């Protein structure tokens, strides 16, 4: 059963040519980074935020200018850690449809090559090129759309987590 699924996946990837294999590599990197960011947001960041809150509440001085700068620095570091890899995730999401379009162009070049060699009399050879043209485009768009949904959730959750942390580290 597993080997059959493997061969079906391999046939699908081969139908899109090297571009679809490239999209697969980008997809693996993209979803690895997004899962890592979700893990950080749900498991690690709450612990770090609680630690910052404990340190803040232990401070005897929470109202001076110096303490405001300390708070601002802590929040800045927390935001940097929370937004780690987000620019790379955005770039990967933007590249997936572009790679799909590259697949379209390379597949259409294959169709034109078949047409130039055999004329219009070989529909089977043309179908291979059309498949190479459409499959990567579809794959790139599916990956980008699903990535955008996850990115929107990550952005919203990150903003909410930072707002909560900022509220917990109040000035007196």
Per-domain boundaries in the chain: 2-168
pLDDT band of residue 125 (cuts 50, 70, 90) is low
pLDDT band of residue 128 (cuts 50, 70, 90) is low
- Report the distance separating Cα 103 and Cα 87, nearest Å: 25
Q: What confidence tens digit (pLDDT) does each residue in 26-79 have?
A: 999 999 999 999 999 999 999 999 999 999 989 888 888 888 899 999 999 999
Which position has the higher pLDDT, 77 or 128? 77
- Report the distance separating Cα 19 and Cα 22, nearest Å: 5
Are 130 and 112 contacting, i.e. CB atoms less than 8 angstroms apart? Answer: no
Lowest mean pLDDT among 18-22, 26-30, 104-108, 136-140: 104-108
Q: What is the pLDDT of residue 109?
A: 82
Are 96 and 23 contacting, i.e. CB atoms less than 8 angstroms apart? Answer: yes
pLDDT band of residue 121 (cuts 50, 70, 90) is low
pLDDT band of residue 120 (cuts 50, 70, 90) is low
pTM of the model: 0.83
pLDDT exceeds 90 at position 135: no
- Report the distance separating Cα 41 and Cα 65, nearest Å: 30
Q: What confidence tens digit (pLDDT) does each residue in 8-25 have?
A: 878 877 777 888 899 999
């Amino acid at each position: 059963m597993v080997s059959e699924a493997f061969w079906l996946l391999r046939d699908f990837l081969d139908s899109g040519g090297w571009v679809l294999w490239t999209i697969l590599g980008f997809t693996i990197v993209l979803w690895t980074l997004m899962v890592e960011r979700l893990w950080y947001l749900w498991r690690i960041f709450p612990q770090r935020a609680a630690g910052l809150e404990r340190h803040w509440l232990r401070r005897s001085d929470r109202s001076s200018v110096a303490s405001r700068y300390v708070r601002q620095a802590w929040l800045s570091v927390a935001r940097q850690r929370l937004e780690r890899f987000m620019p790379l995730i955005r770039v990967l999401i933007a590249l997936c449809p572009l790679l799909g379009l590259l697949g379209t162009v390379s597949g259409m070049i294959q169709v034109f090559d078949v047409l130039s060699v055999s004329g219009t009399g070989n529909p089977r050879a043309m179908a291979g090129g059309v498949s190479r043209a459409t499959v990567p485009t579809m794959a790139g768009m599916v990956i980008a759309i699903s990535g955008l949904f996850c990115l929107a959730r990550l952005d919203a959750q990150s903003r909410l987590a930072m707002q909560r942390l900022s509220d917990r580290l109040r000035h007196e």
